[in-house]
Structure 1
Amino acid sequence: MAEEPGPPSRGFQDCFNDLVDRRQRELGSAWDSVNRRSRRAEAARRAREEIARRIEVRGGRRYAASTIARWAARNHWPPGVENFWLERWATIDRAGGLAALARQLGSTVARVKTWRDSKDPSAPPPRPVTPKRPGEPTRIGVVVNGDAWVGTTKIEKKVPWLPDQTYQELTVEADSGILEAWFADNQDELKDLLGPVIADQVISDWHSANFYDVAYTVTEIILFLPNLDD
């Protein structure tokens, strides 16, 4: 007896339609009074532009929106980019975005990004974040650029600054808001919250801190490891 056929494999048209659906959901209130066909057409236009941008980021070449539309209509995979990468983006689109997929998986935006951009076609979706007991401090690792203040003297200082340090270990309290800012991908808030912790745990060890007040302002987050014990 012939084997029953499995479900049809997905193609580029499916990935494109997933993005069109997402863009249609994201249309603002100004589109509420517009008929469904026009809303769908606008969502498709935005999807073509976004797909072209994604392909350019991954493959280095910008294709015309009309080319994207033709590939989608013919269910033809774009050249120069991996099919599995476009499928990962489609998974993100169906969820409603990076943060939405991270919430569904119980993971973080950073882990979803790492999975999305992995060159391993068999890379599994990100694992859930291991929950910490309420009130338990967390050891994190950071590499940041910023400005240290010793009294009124401003010193441009990368943390860590020693060449043999891969990252700076910090201990953060459960109610610090740092991990919440990281999971929400709120970089500005994360910078603001990290500054006082770095001042207290790193800059305060300087000899000059015995004589002056110290502070630290984070200007760039290069690396953030949310749990060194995980």
Structure 2
Amino acid sequence: MRLLLVEDEVDLADALADGLRREGYLVDVARDGASALTAAAGSDVDVIVLDRDLPVLSGDAVCRTLVGQEYPARILMLTAAGTLNDRVEGLDLGADDYLAKPFAYVELLARLRALGRRAQPTRLNAVWEFAGVRLDVVRRVVERDGTPIRLTLKEFGVLETLLAAEGGYVSADDLLNEVWDEPLERTRGVVKIVVHTLRRKLGSPALIQSAAGHGYRVGTI
């Protein structure tokens, strides 16, 4: 999952970015509101962690602009002002969640996980099809050329994520963020094993390709 962290306090921004990257997130950092809008326009961001008190352009203005543009990312607003009225104001601007400073890092992670699960609502009722493979998200059914394929929950989640990328590469870290909730299982080796078994179950010709430094994708040679 890709995050845009918008925070003008350099030490806090650097500490948060380092910690979130260790958790497996892809993190871009902007130091002011104008830079945040430029960064958001230039990449596919899932969640924006947005400080409310920013130079050049306030966090409120950034939030209003993104909501007005129907930008698809979820917005988690951060602020040193934590009164009820402040929270209401932030949510009324269109933010999806609100966290007052100082906050516990574990709470930030929990909020990000929750927002990440809501970041792509169009996938909830999707049916994905590619090269004879059909995945029905609602019925949780996978077929290839009309033949049902029984997958584990992790295999199903990996296949759904790869199909949703529509031929683009998905890194192992992104797969971990999308599919795995259990911290003890969140290793790239686990992803490799699940992809291996998924390839075998999908049969020939192989549809899941891998490339060092890029990750995995669905495609045909």
Same fold judged by TM-score > 0.5?
no
More strand by share: 2
Structure with larger RCO (C-alpha < 8 A, sep 6+) = 1
TM normalised by structure 2 equals 0.31
More helix by share: 1
TM normalised by structure 1 equals 0.30
